[in-house]
Chain A
Amino acid sequence: MIDRVRSRLPSSWTGGTGDHEGADDDVADPVIEVDGVTVELGDATVLEDVTASVDRGSFVGLVGQNGAGKTTLLRTVAAVLEPESGTVSVDGRDVHALSSRAASRRVAVVPQDTSLSFDFDVREVVAMGQTPYATRLGGADAASDEAVERALRRTEADHLAERSVDEVSGGERQRVLLARALAQETPVLLLDEPTASLDINHQINTLELVRELTREGKTVVAAIHDLNLAAHYCDELLLLGDGEPIAEGPPESVLTEGHLERGFGTRAAVTRHPITGSVYVMALPEQSQRRGRVHVVGGGGTASRLLYLLSVAGFEVTVGVLNEGDADLATARSLGIDAVTVPPFASVGPEARAEAERLVEAADAAVVADVEVGTGNVANLEVARAADAAVVVEERPFADRNYAGDDAARAYEAVRESGTVVEPEAVLRTVTRLVSADGEGSDADADEELPRRHGDADPPADPLGRHR
């Protein structure tokens, strides 16, 4: 009883902590503090010594692979699960020491789904959010009704109010649950996979709404599967791996290739989304063995897709020479590809050329993209001639993209003569065949070794390529 009375008071009155003089001034102060929390479910330790804090008004995304403990952490913060050791405090009070009524005035949860077995209508379900304030005998009071209506309007669920929750769609149901949590009028909102079962437009709507809520002062922690949505909408991310935090901080510092490798056990390319500027994660398929080494001649974005395909297919890819600022260079960097570069608008100088020659020499094959050639980069073509095997991607006639005159045309023709001309779709197949046939190339660990001598046979015919 005493607990219940005390919980009605603002937290600053209760003198629980005393280390923050005024909890209500808007200095960035941690609202949720998770301190050394270990949670066991059955015999399994699901969370181990997790420490994290969430600042007031921030939107923190909880990311990590299935079974990493995201939901368990949310349930622990919501005081549904009791930690084996450690504490979780919200507004300076240990939530596990509070009555569930007091805790539910601090933390509201939007579950992934809820088992609504009876056909309550939407307004009734949202009104259940007011349970922490209801007196046992009193009927509905005006303030409580107003809170319910506000929550319905805020989530644009007011037009659903009279419908049965059994009848609304998945996306609408999600909003009803969000409205219920808003009706709880708590400073902290926890969402468990709020976008998991939603269409892309509903995902965006939900997360936009949640972000607005944080601007209005709510503190939100959401377990989010989609790393790119998380990166775009969250102020901070907490990456969990196997029950332990791997990284916490702004999306760009959390979503790094190293962290993702640890958290998800997979390779990923991390770049910036070209339009939104958010961190953009692209998972790469499992790389079994290095299959060989390929040098790519590109520029102006003509090679970006090739670089991605070859890199994903497991080739060790190099590229060059490229000017700083080139679109292909950005792709190469995000994929972790070695590149030879020269300053913006500069020509390929002797030093860069020598470096490129070295890369071509080391490669099992060279791929020439459908690149535009000027006097500045014609050297790239000349270098490619020395390749063990050359693959030339031709989408436009060379004449249409030659700005360097006859020298360039001759160099291009030379590469073309000695190599295989293919359409973009056939590049990967052709390179794979050439490199695996070239078993004794400089990379002896190519996965298929055919008894063929280095360079002593014509390249195999490409069904789609045009042989000249």
Chain B
Amino acid sequence: MGLSLLLVATVLVSAGIGPVSVPPLTVAKVLLNAVAVPSSVSLGGGTEGSLIAAFTAVSVGFTPVFSFSVPETSATIVMSIRMPRIVLGAVVGFALATSGVVMQGFFRNPMADPSIIGVSSGAAVGAVAVIALPFALPFGVGLHTAAFVTGLLTAFGVYVIATEGDRTPVATLLLAGVAVQTFLGAIISYLLVNSGESLERAIYWLMGHLHNASWSDVEITLTLVPPLFLALLAYGRDLNVLLLGEEDAQTLGIEVERTKRLLLGLSSLVTAAAVTVSGVIGFVGLIVPHIMRLVVGPDHRVLLPTSALAGATFLVATDTIARSGPAQLPVGIITAALGAPFFLYLLRRREVHAL
């Protein structure tokens, strides 16, 4: 699809931009060099040649398909420094946009975004605590783990607060989310006030950033996000029907409360996976879904994948801008500064239907 091509192009251009400029063609060559396919299959053992033995002892050898000649430095810059950050940006953008779509549909509210039930605030509390508290958390809990766990705990807490009997009214959930976020905001402010020397680091984290990304960050998110995305995509039809209202959805065969729990859980996980590695990057999850809804319409089976790809492209592009200036800016500043005016432009240019 066009969006996938756009994402690839953005990645290529983005990887070339930086203190050392690398032409997109070279970037493409570097990346293609990294592609490996199974090239040799050797059957081991089994002198008897029994079929079963053969299958159990297959070993696959990978060899690079392409071997373009590229300068060693270019290859290192692209593969070790820029690509982790770019891929992470893509995955985080992908995740935030996905979760934004789900939350807006779920709440039938145009102001809903991935952090609406407090995942981001919760993660922020965990992260800032690790950064600001003068002592290390027990059990060697690091920043990522703390952020991930507190984010999910917060979402679960909001859910529990808003649940009465076996029902979780969406309006209650929304208000509980807002209240909990406000409360957590107070905690974060308190931690910041008392953070002393680590204040700058904490604020930097809060603004949302992708710097110092490593392949290991990428691995964590990359293993979590795609399966969760596919699970949510499988619920695209249910999300559509839920837009009719919960009562209609019920009579159309949706197990409403169970579906709501599942959607909340999955999208909280997606959000937490993104926020943990990147901090609170605003606007991607709010605005990208709106823009894509203007373009492709409200059907979640189409809207989810297109928004996810658009979110990935958007975040890679904005992060390129963020890191290519004289001083590296947190990408959250750029997403907000660019995303909001662009959305306002769309609002004015097209007749935007109420969500």
- Whether A120 contacts B299 by the Cβ 8 Å rule is yes
Shortest Cβ distance from B94 into chain A, in angstroms? 21
Q: When the two chains form the complex, which single residue of B237, B241, B248, B253 contacts A111, counting CB atoms closer than 8 Å?
A: B248
Report if A136 contacts B (CB, 8 A): yes
Q: Say whether, besides A101-B253, A131-B241, A114 and B299 are in contact (CB < 8 Å).
A: no
A82's nearest neighbour on chain B, judged by CB, is B166
Report if B247 contacts A (CB, 8 A): yes
> Which residues on A sit within 8 Å (CB–CB) of B240?
120, 124, 128
Shortest Cβ distance from B172 into chain A, in angstroms? 15
Shortest Cβ distance from B289 into chain A, in angstroms? 12
Could you tell me the distance between the alpha carbons of A194 and B326 in the complex, rounded to whole angstroms? 66
> Which residues on A sit within 8 Å (CB–CB) of B293?
118
- Whether A119 contacts B247 by the Cβ 8 Å rule is no
> Which residues on B sit within 8 Å (CB–CB) of A78?
250-251
A131's nearest neighbour on chain B, judged by CB, is B252
Chain A contact residue count (CB 8 A cutoff): 34
Report if B77 contacts A (CB, 8 A): no
Q: When the two chains form the complex, which single residue of A104, A117, A136 contacts B252, counting CB atoms closer than 8 Å?
A: A104
- Whether A118 contacts B253 by the Cβ 8 Å rule is no
- Whether A116 contacts B244 by the Cβ 8 Å rule is yes
Q: When the two chains form the complex, which single residue of A104, A114, A115, A136 contacts B253, counting CB atoms closer than 8 Å?
A: A104
Number of A-B contacts (CB under 8 A): 81
Q: Say whether, besides A128-B240, A128-B252, A134-B237, A118 and B353 are in contact (CB < 8 Å).
A: yes
Report if B265 contacts A (CB, 8 A): no
> Which residues on A sit within 8 Å (CB–CB) of B248?
109, 111, 114
- Whether A119 contacts B353 by the Cβ 8 Å rule is yes
B248-271 toward A: CB 8 Å interface, digit per residue (1/0)? 101111111000000000000000
State the main secondary structure of chain B at its contact with A. loop
Shortest Cβ distance from A260 into chain B, in angstroms? 31
Q: Say whether, besides A128-B244, A134-B237, A137-B234, A117 and B251 are in contact (CB < 8 Å).
A: no
Report if B44 contacts A (CB, 8 A): no
- Whether B244 contacts A132 by the Cβ 8 Å rule is no
Report if A129 contacts B (CB, 8 A): yes
- Whether A100 contacts B299 by the Cβ 8 Å rule is no
Could you tell me the distance between the alpha carbons of A103 and B245 in the complex, rounded to whole angstroms? 18
- Whether B244 contacts A80 by the Cβ 8 Å rule is no
Q: When the two chains form the complex, which single residue of B237, B238, B245 contacts A114, counting CB atoms closer than 8 Å?
A: B245
B296-312 toward A: CB 8 Å interface, digit per residue (1/0)? 01110000000000000
Could you tell me the distance between the alpha carbons of A184 and B250 in the complex, rounded to whole angstroms? 13
Shortest Cβ distance from A50 into chain B, in angstroms? 20
> Which residues on A sit within 8 Å (CB–CB) of B353?
118-119, 166
> Which residues on B sit within 8 Å (CB–CB) of A105?
253
Shortest Cβ distance from A413 into chain B, in angstroms? 72
Could you tell me the distance between the alpha carbons of A117 and B244 in the complex, rounded to whole angstroms? 7
- Whether A115 contacts B244 by the Cβ 8 Å rule is yes
Report if B354 contacts A (CB, 8 A): yes
> Which residues on A sit within 8 Å (CB–CB) of B254?
100-101, 131
Closest 8 CB pairs of A and B: A118-B298, A104-B253, A132-B253, A101-B253, A109-B251, A131-B252, A115-B245, A136-B234
Given A78-B251, A114-B248, A136-B235, 19 other A-B residues pairs in contact with their CB atoms under 8 A: A100-B250, A100-B251, A101-B253, A108-B251, A111-B248, A114-B245, A117-B354, A117-B355, A118-B298, A118-B353, A119-B297, A120-B243, A120-B297, A120-B298, A120-B299, A128-B244, A129-B252, A132-B253, A134-B237
A-B contact pairs, 9 of them (CB 8 A): A78-B250, A100-B250, A115-B244, A118-B293, A119-B298, A128-B240, A128-B244, A129-B252, A136-B237
